[in-house]
Structure 1
């Protein structure tokens, strides 16, 4: 009989609770009147007024409760949140019925004027007490019912953290005994909780009591229920549990527990991200939403690690349309499907159609401006997040043209389209490897930064750069690589025992990117506070232990040496940049970032892309050094330089450089260098290369040769096809002090000949030159040597 009664009460549904409430609301006015009148209570003088008041009170309370969702709660798991809702609705109903009661009080023929004026207030208090009793008896009875049949079979679990997350987790375990998880005690670092009982289980002490509790209470698993604590605390608790020989699970960080809804399947194994966890980031969600809501937002690299998370977080802000651009069809398809599922859920929940973002996925390579032009023409994006990039350092060292065409030309194309189609916001995702770069990837990203900042400087638009370090779990990064090596049985390979890197989680990085988009006025670089650098060796050891193995016994660690372009540690600051705090504690700004970008960057970028098109690795490195004095390529001493493998050079700068170095040695060994001359044969295209004179000047300065011993030989058609530019190029080269040798001098147009003669001494030929002309005439070619500087 008792079991039947318990089953009946705990199985009550909301429609049955509505009937209970009707009964309660019919009797509370009578009870209120009895309390008010005390010993003088009698119904007869008040019966008509009491009937009117009771019906009015009933109508008001039922209407308020039903209208504001009181009958949508599941009372078996009622908590303080449900009680707060109940109190709020009862207070509102009491105020409303008091107002109506006062109005009826002056209608004498209804009899309400005979009732005590305090009746609505007393009725409200009694209603709250009785309704609360009816609701909160259900969880108590459910616990009583479960307590009677509890078998205490299954895993005996110790919960670390007696805060709201730990309590919620214990309650769900107690309500679901079929899971086979039995919480036996809490561990908490707050001394005020020691020796107290929470949810009928004791708090036995702080984290250092874990080994003792594990032994004395036969604990089979420890669950860390502290989703807001930093990673150093998680690391220490895990180490204590490992020393006690007990397995460890955890709740994810709070930003991964969607809407604060903690579920049993939220419990998972401890991951490396948990050990590196930092305090949750607070961002200006309202400002971010105002920036993005109702806008057309374009995300490049939408299928990548950062790009896909950008898509997820931007979607929550309800933009009008999201254009996802990516080169990898599968990754773009995956994020499109994920977002489309969210769209369907919003539709199912009755969201207004105009409030639901439209999702458009475009497979596109940002290196092709024609494809970007089509997309911009069709969708007219207002805000652009540029996350597309080649980021793998060793691969880009082996393929410099790819780094330039994708990271530099792709960014240039995107910036050009943004300016042409009047996009007001542009946020570029950069990297800390762009700071004092030692590799092609970092240098290419620094050039990309410069182009964005230059555009902001010229137009005043809100184009900004965000710069941060490694993100955990991105494709091709260190953590997935280590996990794969552990799964294969080892060894784990590390380049250097002292190598360090900055890390942050992908959601954290994207939160700060969106915050920077709000803070940006245009032309800034925003640097994120990455915390303390992490030693990669420690990271590897943690992963081995978390996988259940021992370092050196089950899995070995092998050091392989630094790879081409790799730094021992990443840097944060560039010389000349001025760093200021922002209103967000985790973001700094480089306020003068646009001001220190050289004006020549636009001109040099074109030359850099042209060199990449021709696979001219040496010219790429040469131009990068010109644009970035801080660029210091780093490679092992025993590895050949990348430029040694270059081919199809537009101007073989490496060969010319080596020839000039050899000539410098000859000049140093001989006091008479008049007979040493190096001829450089040029094509038309090479002669008209925009930065030809600048690169030649740098080689002359670096090798410290006599420039008069360098002679450039070009065909006459190179000058004839563009006489005006030829005259300018001639003047630039003349100032260097080198010589110029022309084919078919007599076939040049007279005006050009006059211009060249005006820029140089009279081209009077000596006996040797006459012999050369006579010899050339016999072969149909006439050559004249033109001195390029006063002797």
Structure 2
């Protein structure tokens, strides 16, 4: 199944949402990527690998990819080398390591200087706040490691630095979204020292670990589907996710945040509206059940061309019913690009203030009896719009 084609067909697009912007800005993109040196952190994931494919069209001279997912890096290499006509620079290397490790610093210095640095390494799931241990890992990845990378870039500044954000950073209701909002503020504060840009964008359909990819995994294993009835999301294809990040990285001015221009009325889609179309595309008719146990018991329906689906109302912590790309008090421009909006932001906190802010965080993380509520309070102190939704139920309790 061609994921990009399915998504564009479902969204009633005959080509990428950003095709026009890519065409108009092709010269500028080529000038800044052709024959340049590029490092992509977290490049084995859906968005990172899509960014790489978008960038390779402009023929950089060097590409270094770093990711802790060794198997993901292997698949990335196989994928790129299996496509007829795919440009891959002679100077192309992948490294399975963490971007806060001593080995990363060594390779960054040895392979540099880099013209373009793009960071996609992040915890992106709401389920990451299941307990204090997973929350600490999220905070360390999205904030502590990000600050370490920024400090390294101050020593060895690239021409372009991009770090991916999320639509969940606008009016956050979960720890992941609030950590990304704090990450945005952190990145913006470094704009006095290096050029920084980021992007908030929609749910990347069928991305690694997403609910839609989970549908395909369940179908592959002949297991029932599980889907919320009430959650709405904006969607882009994997290809589009890479394109918006590339344009934010190269076309974005210092301290700009890009987002797709999608309509709150027309473009928000329920997950529950997608699975019937997907199942029909794969030759099945959905049969709805009100409990996960009933759905599991009726898996034999598959033999009749029917597929059991458990549909439920959302009741888990940090789950937002819909997403948004910006808030009313943010300065945004909807006229600069065809399908992209741009936020121009001044930093809320200076880099020196973050030394104090992070000292508080480090003290929290050193507490052996640290509780979730303390992390929430720390985030609310610096992200006052953070309104945490706490139900006491984790997504790990769901099928």
**Shift of the alpha carbon at 1:359?**
0.3
2:213 to 455, 480, 483: 480
1:564 to 312, 317, 335: 317
1:373-422, Cα deviation, whole Å (9 max, x unpaired): 21221112221111111112113343110111111112111111111112
1:406-459, Cα deviation, whole Å (9 max, x unpaired): 111121111111111121210111110111111111111111111111101x22
TM-aligned CA distance change 1:309 to 1:357, over 3 Å? farther
The answer for the alignment partner of 1:551 in structure 2 is: 286
The answer for the alignment partner of 1:316 in structure 2 is: 57
Q: Cα RMSD (Å) of the superposition?
A: 2.7
1:471 to 204, 213, 223: 204
The answer for the alignment partner of 1:233 in structure 2 is: none
User: How do 1:334-733 residues align onto structure 2 when only pairs under 5 Å count?
Assistant: 334-339=75-80, 356-368=89-101, 370-380=102-112, 381-398=114-131, 399-456=134-191, 458-459=192-193, 461-487=194-220, 491-495=224-228, 497-531=229-263, 532-552=267-287, 554=306, 555-559=308-312, 561-591=314-344, 593-597=345-349, 600-614=353-367, 616-617=370-371, 618-636=373-391, 639=393
From the two aligned structures, give the one with the greater helix fraction: 1
1:306 to 47, 50, 69: 47
Q: Which entry has the higher C-alpha Rg, 1 or 2?
A: 1
User: How do 1:16-55 residues align onto structure 2 when only pairs under 5 Å count?
Assistant: none
Q: Contact 2:185–2:347 at 8 Å: present in 1 too?
A: no
TM-aligned CA distance change 1:542 to 1:293, over 3 Å? same
The answer for the alignment partner of 1:645 in structure 2 is: none
The answer for the alignment partner of 1:773 in structure 2 is: none
TM-aligned CA distance change 1:576 to 1:375, over 3 Å? farther
Distance 1:333 1:544 in 2: 30
The answer for the alignment partner of 1:78 in structure 2 is: none
Distance 2:213 2:91 in 1: 33
User: How do 1:247-326 residues align onto structure 2 when only pairs under 5 Å count?
Assistant: 271=6, 274-280=9-15, 281-282=19-20, 283=22, 284-326=25-67
Q: How many residues align?
A: 361
TM-score (norm 2): 0.82
TM-aligned CA distance change 1:528 to 1:277, over 3 Å? same
**Shift of the alpha carbon at 1:342?**
7.0
TM-score (norm 1): 0.43
Distance 2:44 2:62 in 1: 17
Helix, strand or coil for the counterpart of 1:464? strand
Distance 1:417 1:288 in 2: 25
Distance 1:521 1:291 in 2: 13
Q: Contact 1:580–1:590 at 8 Å: present in 2 too?
A: yes
Helix, strand or coil for the counterpart of 2:66? strand
* Higher RCO (Cα < 8 Å, 6 or more apart): 2
**Shift of the alpha carbon at 1:571?**
2.1
**Shift of the alpha carbon at 1:486?**
4.1
Structure 1 stretches of 5 or more lacking a match? 1-249, 257-269, 348-355, 641-791
1:259-279, Cα deviation, whole Å (9 max, x unpaired): xxxxxxxxxxx8455212425
**Shift of the alpha carbon at 1:299?**
0.3
**Shift of the alpha carbon at 1:346?**
6.6
Q: Contact 1:385–1:427 at 8 Å: present in 2 too?
A: yes
Helix, strand or coil for the counterpart of 2:287? coil
**Shift of the alpha carbon at 1:493?**
1.9
Helix, strand or coil for the counterpart of 1:556? strand
TM-aligned CA distance change 1:417 to 1:583, over 3 Å? same
TM-aligned CA distance change 1:363 to 1:274, over 3 Å? same
TM-aligned CA distance change 1:610 to 1:311, over 3 Å? farther
Q: Contact 1:468–1:527 at 8 Å: present in 2 too?
A: yes
TM-aligned CA distance change 1:343 to 1:605, over 3 Å? farther
Q: Contact 1:412–1:451 at 8 Å: present in 2 too?
A: yes
The answer for the alignment partner of 2:74 in structure 1 is: 333
Distance 2:55 2:197 in 1: 18
**Shift of the alpha carbon at 1:504?**
0.2
TM-aligned CA distance change 1:463 to 1:346, over 3 Å? closer
Distance 1:272 1:468 in 2: 15
Q: Contact 2:42–2:68 at 8 Å: present in 1 too?
A: yes
